Chain A
């Protein structure tokens, strides 16, 4: 496909019930009232020259290039700032306009590097195109006068360069940072000739800039330009795909030169991101060709042996024969597998299919076990389906936004920008989080309420909020009567109304002043459309599922489900957490969340797959590890998941894997789990395969192959090969055929096909005869389960208790620049921002321990001990410390415990009792890791392997 150039209409689309008809260059045009002349012209196919305008920014009117003539009016107004009016007759071209535009361009060009205007040199730009469009010829003023051509470049950011010589001070970058990203890191300093773009008088790298790339994308002159474009030159083709980082699921154009990726550009038509991006998706893609990529299959007899490179046939054959040997010796249920939330829907579908059909058991699980499994349980129980209720655009109609246990500016930055826009428009904000996250107070955003509860007390908090709603007469009685199970509601109403659930009573647990809780509850219930967004701060608790149900109760009681602007929206962590769950990765349910014990459902899969299927649930990941230690689980196939680094109590996970006889890991890199593997199957990055991802708003987006798989096979082809070797035949020519099978077998996907995805861009499930183009907002008019079901949510404190020995609470999480276990982002320049995990600690806790900024400290729990540098931070509350788990060497999960959600076994990462002390040397575990990691990752290179 050639390089895609989206149409830029110059100014944003306006929505109005009133239409105006005018004439542009003799053509009649009808547009909504409020539309600019520039946009009206563009919609009629007339492109007016412009430099400072872009349709993702409000009109600014500074470049003077977009001048037009209007019959009956004097002068030549800027078309970007002049609204269309009924009956106007507009001329976009005339000798006078052409002369004016040439004059303006000539002035710009008089202080612009001549080479940058030469079509045969370097990279194209809008500036160069405009010079051609206005017919710029000779620049009469020369370059002898004062100019900016020798201004110093700012190359401090690892991904882009700022060259002031090419800056025309059009403010597009500043406005993109303000209006699109919402960070307000840039400004125009100075006046007249000395005016210049400034990142707060600091180099970009030291500024507030979050490297989202919006300014670079906005720049019309290449003053801001990606370093990869400077190095590799102009790309010549584009492939539209879906980002492989967080659950926002941004659409991107992969821009390539041949088979070399030059840059990733956010795709304007992407319905999840509307042309915006973050530092990870936009820039951190270099891992895909990192030297650490493993591109040959490998095997070894023992985990202490070096790896031996072999052919695909040998590796697949060895894995299959080992699995068959183990089953023959220990029984059918002695093996299982884990699907990946980073792989495509088609790939996760095939892995669970292979486990159920070829292994003959239901021992399939997925990494959602450790993040959003309580979302599935809680929302299915209350609403009838295991997914969020809204699309992202719903936030544009939200009036009272409640964020619980999520940090969108770090973990879901593109959606955070959309949310911040709505907040700047006046939506109110409640934040329930132990930490003072950025959204509590950042430029032009200030939370109305921050409820900094003690970790582990979510359910007490949600009950207190509900108590206020119920006891102060804020229930939407008509909604509840019409839409919900009234008997269950009455049972719940009685429960939450009890005094022990009041804000005053629960303050003893949560630490949050009752008055703030009451104020927040009133705001949510009465502030217009109430929308709840939440993250792992809700789910990763011993009462994760209870809390999800508690939020659902609150939303139903206030009538905040079933329309735009409201809802319960989980912010999913990995790119395809939603999809991996939808595809039947859990041990108890088939694709579409249907229990394996449902006879009719099971029989439909038996008929399609031509095999007998088990009706009992299989093992979850922690159950597999426990069973391995007990000696009844001996082999595992792990696709794209690193349980040693990501799952709690690392030593326990390692012991379980060590107890197995065949561990097969399929991944891009020799991850931490691969240290315990006997077979390594090289994976393919998202750039190397076709498929689909499903984001947090249930949006199915296409992943398109941009380059060939480095190891010769896409991940789905590897699973097919393994299944065939196991004796269960699979044959697919293309992932579209896998999706066709999913659609045939899954009612909520019945209307999904690659053809429709090509046509519509993306689809939100349910997509079937009732909703052939998908379902942006769920439960309109009625819940999937019929009546919404209120559940009683008794607060049960976690068994993980602080003591004199472990007096602090550790909570773990993520930051903007790194992603999950860091396997991808650690292999990019994102390490500039976060090259190690640090322990955030409140000044008073640090002072009590004699800890200063940067000191090496030990972090010890009942499970283990690690060391890491301290960062003194008032974002923390006293008694609570925080770290990330992005770096393997840190081993954050050495410390976390096996306590987990009662319903789903989602680990309680957010509450670990710890002690923090000054340390003199790294921990014993880290020393052991350093030594064994080297031993377990050796590769013998003298093999005669072939592909």
Chain B
């Protein structure tokens, strides 16, 4: 899951930060089933170690 989230973040990392965070957030919302989003939200709540900074920020927007 962390690996998948980081891959998504790396794609959007080329864009300006606001656009990138929005892109990662949008991807989570459009393509991740709710239990997967719940898992990553919980993962971030427990520190989110190893997550790309953009993914961390995007997860905050999911909450």
Contact = CB atoms under 8 A, between A and B. Distances in A.
Interface string B19-55: 0000000010111111110000000000000000000
Which of B4, B31, B32 gathers the greatest number of chain A CB atoms within 10 Å? B31
B35 A627 contact: yes
Interface in A451-508: 495
Contacts of B31: 588, 617, 620, 903-904
Interface stretch (A30-38, A268-276, A791-799, A828-836): A791-799
A627 B10 CA distance: 25
A597 interface: yes
Given A623-B36, A627-B35, A903 B11 contact: yes
A542 B30 contact: no
A903 B12 CA distance: 11
A698 B59 CA distance: 37
A620 B32 CA distance: 9
A835 to B, nearest CB: 38
Contact of A799 (B3, B32, B33): B3
Contacts of A900: 4
B57 to A, nearest CB: 17
A321 B27 CA distance: 36
Given A623-B33, A902-B4, A794 B27 contact: no
Contacts of B7: 542, 796, 902
Contacts of A616: 33-34
Nearest to B34: A616
Contacts of B8: 902-903
B30 A617 contact: yes
A903 B14 contact: no
B10 A794 contact: yes
A74 to B, nearest CB: 75
Contacts of A333: 33-35
B27 A588 contact: no
A623 B34 CA distance: 11
A337 interface: no
Interface string A389-407: 0000000000000000000
A388 interface: no
Interface string A570-601: 00000000000000000110000001010000
A419 interface: no
A900 B1 CA distance: 12
Nearest to A549: B11
A295 interface: no
A619 B8 CA distance: 17
B40 to A, nearest CB: 12
Given A902-B4, A903-B27, A796 B33 contact: no
Nearest to A900: B4
Contact of B10 (A495, A597, A632, A902): A902
A495 B7 CA distance: 19
A374 to B, nearest CB: 12
A470 to B, nearest CB: 16
Contact of B14 (A588, A794, A902): A794
Contacts of A623: 33, 36
B33 A587 contact: yes
Nearest to B3: A799
A751 interface: no
A620 B1 CA distance: 13
A623 B38 CA distance: 14
Given A902-B4, A903-B27, A546 B33 contact: no
A73 B48 CA distance: 91
A632 B32 CA distance: 15
Contacts of A799: 3
B11 A902 contact: yes
A618 interface: yes
Given A546-B11, A799-B3, A902-B4, A597 B30 contact: yes
Interface string A765-800: 000000000000000000000000000101010010
Contacts of A618: 33
B26 to A, nearest CB: 11
Nearest to B7: A902
A616 B32 CA distance: 9
Contacts of B11: 546, 794, 796, 902-903
B4 to A, nearest CB: 7
A363 B35 CA distance: 12
Contacts of A796: 7, 10-11
B30 A588 contact: yes
A595 B27 CA distance: 12
A794 B30 contact: no
Contacts of B3: 799
Contacts of B35: 333, 627, 632
B33 A595 contact: no
Contacts of A903: 8, 11, 27, 31
A794 B13 contact: yes
Contacts of B27: 903
Interface in A542-567: 542, 546
B6 to A, nearest CB: 9
Nearest to A624: B33
Contacts of A794: 10-11, 13-14
Contact of B15 (A597, A792, A905): A792
A542 to B, nearest CB: 7
Interface string A100-116: 00000000000000000
A617 B14 contact: no
A619 to B, nearest CB: 5
Contacts of B34: 333, 616
A796 B11 CA distance: 8
Interface string A609-644: 000000011111001000100001000000000000
A623 B1 CA distance: 10
B54 to A, nearest CB: 13
Nearest to A905: B4
Contact of A792 (B4, B14, B36): B14
Which of B11, B14, B29 gathers the greatest number of chain A CB atoms within 10 Å? B11
A617 B32 contact: yes
B61 to A, nearest CB: 16
A540 to B, nearest CB: 15
Which of B7, B27, B33 gathers the greatest number of chain A CB atoms within 10 Å? B33
A225 B62 CA distance: 66
B17 to A, nearest CB: 14
Contacts of B32: 617
Interface string A889-918: 000000000001011110000000000000
13 contacts: A495-B14, A542-B7, A595-B30, A597-B30, A617-B30, A617-B31, A617-B33, A619-B36, A794-B11, A799-B3, A902-B11, A903-B31, A904-B31
Closest 5 CB pairs of A and B: A902-B7, A792-B14, A794-B14, A619-B33, A796-B10
Given A616-B33, A902-B4, A903-B31, 18 more contacts: A333-B33, A362-B33, A363-B33, A495-B14, A587-B33, A597-B29, A619-B33, A619-B36, A623-B36, A627-B35, A794-B11, A796-B7, A799-B3, A900-B4, A902-B10, A902-B11, A903-B11, A904-B31
